[in-house]
Structure formats: structure tokens, C-alpha cells
Chains A and B, each alone.
Chain A
Amino acid sequence: MDKQRLLRNGPSRMDEWMSTSSTVATPSWIGTALRIASARPSFAAGYIIVFVAVLAGALAPLVAPYNPIEADPSQFLQPPNRLHWLGTDAVGMDIFSRVLYGPRIDITIAVLGTMVSATVGCLVGAWVGYFSRAGNFRSRIAFLIMRLADVLQAFPVFVFAIALVASLGQSIQTVVFAIAFVNIPIYLRLMRSQVMAIREMRYVEASLVAGMSDMQTILRHVIPNAMGPALAQLSVNVGWSILLTAGLSFVGAGVRAPSPEWGSMIATGFQNVVTGEWWPSVFPGLALAITVFGFSLVGNSVEVFGDPVKIRRLIRDVTLRERTRAARRRA
């Protein structure tokens, strides 16, 4: 019957009244991004901040006016001026140059630490979640892993991180390791609870019935469907790790001075602040705060994009804005 209809009407005729989408052309990727940015400027701000911070770190050797670890004792504690835009610190190092170099250490450590913890935490969490109700030997191991996570989380995070760094020796690698280590339980738990819900889904059963092994099922079906919350956590976690890195350096357990690291810069400027020279501490702190702010904005946007309810609201706001703007233009 369908064939006859087609023959009678001809395919061109079909096209005319049946179209898979609306009459308007599908908007481009960039166009959609711009429209979202206009309705949620904070999202755009987040991506821009992160981009600028990474760029500053990458181009610091080209852009910075001074060597970040070269002290000029004749120029100590200069307030911001034409030669030293953000002033100099107590030993005469240029603060602007040091602030520019900051992301090289802080963002690198935080991103690496977060990546390691997310990878390990998600894989182990998926395994634990998948087998925790299996009722066999593996479920007992899963139980033990969770109790170990309990123990690790019962530690005061900061003291734990300092102890890790102290026992492994102070270096950038150990700070990365410490940050990765204290973050693992977060991903472990997120992934476990997601996987435990997904484990009960029919498609997991179907995959097992179809003859896939447990590991294949975990990798192909469970993990991709459970990743959402962990992904949304990533960016916020990078911001938080930057704060932790700076905190470690602030107490002298992280990156050592005179490396251009924001936390240790704030620490060395501490005494000067009390006596009124605010710039050695305030500027690196601002850079730190703005960078972390950028990462949490990005995290926010990821959260919205992953949540059907929030994305519906976003779409409503985008269209409402455009409608009011169109109405205003007509008036």
C-alpha cells in the first residue's frame, strides 16, 4: 500500500509535506553557544576566565616583564607602579610576573590531581557498585573498599594531605599525589551510588544475557551511563584542588618558595599585610580566587547541561529573551 502511494505521489511530493525538522535551517554549533551565552553570561565568563588563566600560564615566559624568581633587593616592597604593575615583594621580586607564572604550578597540579583521582575513583567505584550486591567474594572486597574509604574520609582532609606530602617528601609530584588521594573517595562514592542504580536496569541484564562478560558490561554499558555526576564534579573539583594546593603551600607543606605559586606568595606577604603593604598577598589571592571562580562557573554550566530539568529552563530563558528582544525591535 505504501509503495502504491509513493508511486502515485512521487518522492518529490513526499518531501514537500513531510520534513524531518522545521523549515528553519539547523543552527550552527557556534550560534547555539552564543545564544546560550547571552542568556547565561556567567557560563561564558567561566570559560573565558579558565581560558585566560591557562593562556597566562602558557605564555608567561613570553609575556612576563621580569624573571619570576629573580630578586632585585634594591626594589623591595615597591607599591604598584609603572615599572612593577602589581608592585614587588619583600625581597624585590616582581609580583605581576610571579602571578602570571602561578597557573603553571597551581592549575597543573590541580588538573593532574583531579584527573588521577577521577580515573581511579570512577573505575574502582564502578567495580564496587557493580559487585556490591553480588553476594560473593567480590562483594566482600567491595565492602572492604568502602570501609577503607570511610576511614580515609574520617581524616581531617587538610592534616591528611600535609602528612602525605611530608612523608613522601616535598615536591610537585607528591602534592599531585596527595590531592589525587584525598579526592578519590568523592568519585568512588558518586560512581558507586550511580552504578548501584544502573546495575538494576534492564539493559545491563540484557547485556549479560547476550553473553558479554561482567567487565565488558561495566565498560560498555555501566560506566558511560553513570559518568554524568562525576563529570559535573570535575571542574568544581579542579577549583577546590587549586585551593588545597595553595593552602598546602601556605603552611609550607606544598610548593616551596621562591617558586611562583600563589599560596606561597600569599604566605610570604603575610607579615607585610599586617604592617600595611597589602600588595604582595592581595594580588596572588585575587588571581587565585578568580581562577577558582572560573572553574566553578564552568562546573555550573556542565551541571546544567547534564540536567534535563535545568536545560529545559535554559531553553525557556533563551527563547524568552529573544522573543522580548524581537518584540522590542518591532515596537
Chain B
Amino acid sequence: MTRIISFLGQRLLFIVPQLFGILLVSFFLIKSIPGDPAVLMLGPMASTDAVVSLRTKLGLDHALPIQFWHFLVNLVHGDLGTSWQTTRPVLEDLLQRFPATLELVTLGLLGAIIIGVPLGVASAFDEKGILGRVAGVYGLTAGSLPDFWLALVLIFVFYTILQIVPAPLGRLDFAILPPPTISGFLIFDSIAAGDWAALGSALTHLCLPVLTLSLINAGPILKMTQSTMDRMLQSDFSRYEVLSGLPHRMVVRHALRNSLPSIVTIISVLYGYLLGGAVLVEIVFSWGGAGQYAVQGVLNSDIYPVLGFVLFSAIFSLIVYLIVDIVYVAIDPRIGR
């Protein structure tokens, strides 16, 4: 147990310089995007004096390293800066939008796991069978589909033609008031408030984007499950189990257990990736999530939303990887003891 703690301690030591590096790179990257926020904020008709005074107010007249230093000092005090597009503190914006993205991505990933892992196991179980063939084709196809295009096709089928889901505009119907925010996850909040209309609306709005993300991301999970299971079933120890006369089911079960570290890894990588990677789906469904917020920031020289988003998602990925490392220790006796 103490070893696990010292292992985690080592990991945490690396996180601080890593976060610093991420912020440094993104700060200078966004700053190098042409376009003066002061001019963009005031519009093209503003007088030079107004622009200059705004630049001073925003601290834009300082040299870049000093601006970065100011950002870091503010960060330590819990201030992530202000977005000139929404004119609100970035922290507030993110606290509102991050749960939206997280809810979407988590459900999408869960769906992907539910599709991917059993199919992968089934295809390793019976390579030449129907399920094996379906899994083989699916694994190849899913990775080739552009998610934003699949989202469009789903909208066309389920909204335009069948009309069984609401229009792809946000997380709730316009007519429905959002439940009081507790966690930011609409499903939890509406259940907590006992607001069944909001829950129903939230669920129907979640349907298509979650389905899109599940269908697409089941691909990599399926492939990883399939190839690792395949390798494990070909391995010396599986062959030895067969030679020892253990039943096929037991051999497959053991192979699955030995495959778990790889499967967990791909899931964690996908989770981290999807925070920013689901942005195209967010845009298609006007989700108003954190990814969309950051992309708007990049496209409009609005630096603080981008930095905030990068910081949030980096911390989130680090937490996920940390959990994964703990899971490894639990699964594999060779690690960390």
C-alpha cells in the first residue's frame, strides 16, 4: 500500500511542471494568432484612443512573458481571466460548460464500451462465426467514419425523416427551464429537482450525439479488444491451458483478464481525447460545451477560454491516467509490488 502511495506521489510531482509546460505552449501559441482582442472587442469603428486605453486595461501593453506571469499569478488566485466574447469570467463559463461536455463524452464512451468490448470478445471467441465477421467489418468501418458526418446522417434520418428526436439545438427544448444547477449534469440535476419534463427533454437531446460518439468510438475499443484477446489466446499460457484440458470458456475468461490492461488503456486514452475530440459533434448539435467554447476562442483570438479549457482538460486527463495506473496495480501483480 505504501508503495502505491509513493508511486502516486511520484506521478503528482510530474504533474506541476507538465501543467506549466502545457500552459506556456498554449499561451504563446494563441498569442501568436494574428488579431488584436482590443480591436475585436470594440469593433472596427472604435477610435485609436479607446483601443489604446482598453489595451492598457487588459494588460496587453506589457511584454508577453510579463503577460504570462500575470496570468499565472491570477491563476493561483483562482482567476482564469475573462472571455471578451461572453464578457464573463472564464471559470464561470467553464464550470457551466465542462459538465455539458463531460456528460456527453462519458455517456458516449459508456455506449462505446458496451458495443466494443463484447463484440471484441465474441469475435476472438469465434473468429469465423457471424459475430466475428460483423465485429471485423465494424472495427474497420467505425474508425473510417467522420464523426461530424455520421452525426449529420443520424440527424437526417431521425430528425428530418422520422421526426422522433428534437432538433439538434442544444441540451434542452427551448420551452423547458433548466433545473437548478447542482452538478451541471442535466440528468442528475433534473432527477435531483424531480423535474421529469426536463429529464425527458435532456435524454431525448442526448440520444443522437451519444449514439454518434458511441458508434464511432466503439471502433478503437473493439479493435484493441480483438487484437489483444487474439494475442492472449495465441500466447504460451493460453495454449498451455488448452493442453491442460481447461474448458474453452475458462481459457477465454483468463485471456480476457489478461487483456484488461490494454482495454483499460485505450478507454482512458479515448476519454482524454474526447473532451476536445467531441468538439465537432458538439458543433453539429449546438451543444454549448467546453470544446465548442475553446474552438470559438481560438477562432476569435479570445485567449483565456482556450487556456482555461486546456488547463481543465489536461487536469482531467491526468486524473484519468492516475486512476488507470491504480487499476493496473489492482489487475497485474507484477506492477507496483
Interface residues of A, Cβ cutoff 8 Å to B? 42, 147-148, 150-152, 154-160, 162-164, 166-167, 169, 239-240, 243, 246-247, 250-253, 263, 266, 270, 273-276, 278, 281-282, 285, 288-290, 292-293, 296-297, 300, 309
Contact = CB atoms under 8 A, between A and B. Distances in A.
B140 A157 contact: no
Interface in B10-38: 17-18, 21-22, 25-26, 29-30, 32-34
Contacts of B159: 274
14 contacts: A150-B18, A154-B317, A158-B291, A162-B295, A164-B29, A166-B33, A167-B32, A243-B144, A253-B299, A266-B148, A281-B149, A285-B152, A289-B145, A292-B143
Q: How would you classify the secondary structure of chain A's contact residues: helix, strand, loop or mixed?
A: helix
Interface of B: 17-18, 21-22, 25-26, 29-30, 32-34, 140-141, 143-146, 148-149, 152-153, 155-156, 159-161, 167-168, 234, 273, 275-277, 279-280, 283-284, 291, 294-295, 298-299, 306, 309-310, 313-314, 317-318
B152 A266 contact: yes
A154 B280 contact: no
- The 7 closest A-B CB pairs, nearest first, are A156-B276, A285-B149, A293-B144, A151-B21, A292-B144, A167-B33, A167-B32
Contacts of B146: 243, 246-247, 250, 263, 266, 285, 288-289, 292
A266 to B, nearest CB: 5
A150 B144 CA distance: 27
Nearest to B234: A309
Contact of B148 (A150, A169, A250): A250
Contacts of B144: 239, 243, 289-290, 292-293, 296
A288 B147 CA distance: 11
A156 B29 CA distance: 14
Contacts of A266: 146, 148-149, 152
A278 B155 CA distance: 10
Contacts of A247: 146, 148, 280
A7 B88 CA distance: 99
A263 B147 CA distance: 11
Given A266-B149, A285-B152, A296-B140, A169 B160 contact: no
Given A151-B22, A151-B25, A250 B34 contact: no
A152 B279 CA distance: 19
Contacts of A282: 152-153, 156
Contacts of A276: 156, 160-161
Contacts of A166: 33, 298-299
B275 A296 contact: no
A273 B152 CA distance: 7
A73 B279 CA distance: 33
A85 B140 CA distance: 28
B276 A157 contact: yes
A266 B143 CA distance: 18
Nearest to B19: A154
A164 B273 CA distance: 18
A152 B18 contact: no
A95 to B, nearest CB: 14
A158 B310 CA distance: 11
B233 to A, nearest CB: 11
Contact of B22 (A154, A251, A288, A300): A154
Nearest to A243: B146
B320 to A, nearest CB: 11
Contacts of A164: 29
Given A154-B18, A156-B276, A266-B149, A163 B26 contact: yes
Given A167-B33, A273-B155, A158 B276 contact: yes
Contacts of B298: 159, 162-163, 166, 253
Nearest to B283: A251
Contacts of A292: 143-146
Given A163-B298, A167-B33, A276-B156, 11 more contacts: A151-B22, A152-B25, A154-B18, A155-B314, A156-B277, A157-B273, A159-B276, A240-B143, A288-B149, A289-B149, A292-B145
Given A155-B22, A266-B149, A274-B155, A251 B273 contact: no
Contacts of B299: 162, 166, 251-253
B88 to A, nearest CB: 20
Contacts of B276: 155-160
Contacts of B277: 156-158
Given A147-B18, A292-B144, A273 B160 contact: yes
A243 B22 CA distance: 25
A161 to B, nearest CB: 10
Nearest to A303: B227
Contacts of B153: 278, 282, 285
Contacts of B33: 163, 166-167
Contacts of B29: 160, 163-164, 167
